[in-house]
Structure 1
Amino acid sequence: MEHIKLGIIGAGRIGKLHAENLKNLPQVKIKAISDLFADTIKDWAASCGIENVSKDYQSIIQDEEIDAILICSPTDTHISIIKEAAEAGKHIFCEKPISFNLQETAEIVELVQNHGVKFQTGFNRRFDHNMSRVQELVRAGKIGDPHLLKITSRDPAPPHPDYIPSSGGLFIDMAIHDFDLARFMMDSDVVEVYAQGAVLIDQAFAKHNDVDTATISLRFANGALGVIDNSRKAHYYDQRVEVFGSEGCLNIQNDFPNSAELYTSEGVFKDKPLYFFLERYNNAYIKEIEAFVDAIVANNLVPVTANDGYQAELIAHAAKLSLKENRPVALKELAAL
């Protein structure tokens, strides 16, 4: 297959980002996009070369010319759309998380396999130039056997209060990226989770049984240990990683808009790190969607599977249970596969 036609379901911030990136790929034609607010995006869609704009996502699924779809709609719509798309033989790219329900996500893992369609989960950080390099070096044995993983992931500002009730909570909405990254970096599944959390930023989180600050301890199947710390409000975007092993250490610092440093009698100054995920992971989003397209065009395996999505959700749900019951939780307690 030399060229493919795509449809996008959901034209929010992420849907538009993917469309902007896809329009630059010569082997791709975005034939249609659907969104509940279709009337407001027609001019933007035209600027991307998208001819068909609709409120009805099923018009995309039923279009026999469309080879694949991107699901960028709210999480609570994912399952039904995935099922319809798989049954229609469409390849699927789905933003994280696949769902809020472990059993439903497990069913999707089997469903897409049974229908023989490609399914890629949207964990863009795997494609970041820094993150992918660390994973490559770990796999190559450059630090020997990995012993310890540390991930710091802090947002510059909390989400709007209206988003909190539908977010799934810190572990499923935010930390899920870190859970996937942990498996990716260590090349090993997580077998046990212990989470602690607090509301230190905004009581709006407490109203919805959520937290805004957390630490999560991980135990991996290969025996290694991991620690993740999350905050909803750091005033800057903080994305750092360290992998320590028997023969050395790897670390990632924040990305900055430039490397200039100002030295004066008052101190040393530099710009803040790149602000939030759209700037920090811009190239990762491009590589992510290129990988999905390449998997279809060249008939290769997708780099981030439905099972990867399920495994990250499994860790997230174990973290939620750990926080609730104040104890370590073995993932086998919750496993639906």
Structure 2
Amino acid sequence: MQRFALIGAGFIGSVHARNLAENPDVDFALVYDVDQERAQTLAQTHGARAAQDLDEVFNPEHIDAVFIASSTNTHAENLRRAADAGIAALVEKPIDMDLAQARETVDYVERSGIRAMVNFNRRFDRDHAQLKHLVDAGELGPLSLLQLTSRGPALPPLEYLKVSGGQMRDQTVHFFDLARWIFGADPEEVFVAGSALTDPRVAEIGDVDTSAATLVFGTGALAQIDSVRHTGYGYDERIEALGADGMAESGRMRSGNVTLFHGAQSRTDGLHANWFERVQPTYAASLGGFVDALERGVDVPVSLRDGLKAQAIAEAATTSLSSGRSERINYGF
């Protein structure tokens, strides 16, 4: 049993709290949040205890691992505290909004020797993982083109977008990670075109809500990612991999699988209403992968270096949006 503490009792913290409480290999011990009342409520819901301060959280006598789901600006500091305490850490992306600071944090954590993982949960989607397995097994032959779609049903609040870091860092970064994971290689260049089509205020804050990114790999193979903040038909996420010998698709997921045939017409279930409905199972699966690595004493499924690489792609992509040119990706290590 891994004794866990959770930092952060907001929306995503509440998702992780439920998964921690339901995982049979986890002893869900503590919840900490700067809002003590919120921490207390979440802890009581799941049979844990609210920590009074972070000293309780980072106490290796009572805690084996920490799940960092606090505000983005605290991720790096909490990772460093976990490293100092010798406690394993699972952290939401990004490690830090500043890539240079994120690199320094990763170096610091790696020197400590703790196991630390970035929560790129979409790698744990059942269908995406099966597509990855087919690629690795050589079923498609050498990959030539990967197409990924990320289309959300509703534009997030403008106040959120102002602090999100932009579409490349906030939304598309998950698919940059999926692309390099599926290819098993790091892209060398990225070109992005984007527009603000849903709300002109998005452009006023220097962001886009509709974009197409092209990643170029060393072999000449390509990955294309279209990202949209607003659709009129639900949440749409899918991947198509094309190789010399075949094609595999992790298709869009409907909210149900019943089709009504009536006369000359048919009616099927539509897509999930929002992103969370679509990806919710991946959070428990990601936690399970991390806990399994701790139990077996092996490397975590998604390293901090994986997180850095996806972030480096997002930085180059953000630059490309402004420059209008293809940009080399500087991984910095």
- TM-score range (shorter-chain normalised) is over 0.9
In the alignment, the residues of structure 1 paired with residue 267 and residue 331 of structure 2 have an alpha-carbon distance, to the nearest angstrom, of 48
Aligned match of 2:279 in 278, 281, 293?
Answer: 281
- Runs of 4+ in structure 1 displaced over 4 angstroms? none
In structure 1, what is the equivalent of residue 312 of structure 2? 314
**How much has 1:109 moved relative to structure 2?**
2.4
> Which secondary structure state, in structure 1, belongs to the residue aligned with residue 269 of structure 2?
coil
TM-aligned CA deviation for residue 335 of structure 1? 2.9
Asked if 2 retains the 8 angstrom alpha-carbon contact of 1:108 and 1:306, the reply is no
Instruction: Kindly provide the amino acid, as one letter, of the partner of residue 199 in structure 2.
Output: D
Residue 312 of structure 2 aligns with an amino acid whose one-letter code is L
Report which stretch shifted further, 80-89 or 243-252. 80-89
More displaced 10-residue stretch of structure 1: 39-48 or 68-77: 39-48
Moved more, 9-18 or 200-209: 200-209
* TM-score normalised by structure 1 residue count: 0.94
Q: Which residue of 1 aligns with 2:326?
A: 328
The match for 2:142 is 145
Cα shift at 1:90: 1.1
- CA distance, structure 2, for counterparts of residue 165 and residue 260 of structure 1: 40
Shift of 1:294: 1.1
For 1:335 and 1:298, how far apart are their aligned partners in 2? 30
Structure 2 counterpart of 1:120, one-letter code: M
The residue aligned with 1:232 is 229
How far has the Cα of 1:63 moved from its partner? 5.5
Distance 1:45 1:266, change over 3 A: farther
1:4 is aligned with what amino acid? Answer: Q
Structure 1, gaps ≥5 residues long? none
2:211 aligned with 1:214: yes
Q: 1:29 aligns with which of 27, 30, 45?
A: 27
Partner of 2:295: 297
Superposed CA offset, 1:301-330 (max 9, x none)? 100000100010011000011111110001
Q: Which runs of 5+ in 2 are unaligned?
A: none
The amino acid that maps onto 1:95 is: E
TM alignment of 1:79-228, pairs within 5 A: 79-228=76-225
| CA RMSD of superposed structures (Å) | 1.5
**TM-score (normalised: structure 2):** 0.96
Percent identity among equivalent residues?
35
CA contact (8 A) 2:36 2:50 kept: no
| Distance across 2 between alignment mates of 1:67 and 1:14 | 21
Equivalence for 2:46 = 48
**8 Å contact 1:5–1:68 — kept in the other structure?**
yes
Tell me the equivalent position of 1:77. Answer: 74
Q: Is the 8 A contact 2:32 2:39 kept in 1?
A: no
* SS of match in other structure, 2:201: coil
Q: Deviations over 1:215-272 (max 9, x none)?
A: 0011113331111000000131000111000000011211122211223357432222
Cα gap change, 1:179 to 1:69, in 2 (>3 Å)? same
Q: Which moved more, 1:284-293 or 1:221-230?
A: 221-230
CA pair 76-44 structure 1, distance change in 2 beyond 3 A: closer
Higher mean C-alpha displacement, 126-135 vs 234-243? 234-243
In structure 2, distance between residues paired with 1:336 and 1:155? 32
| Paired amino acid for 2:46 | C
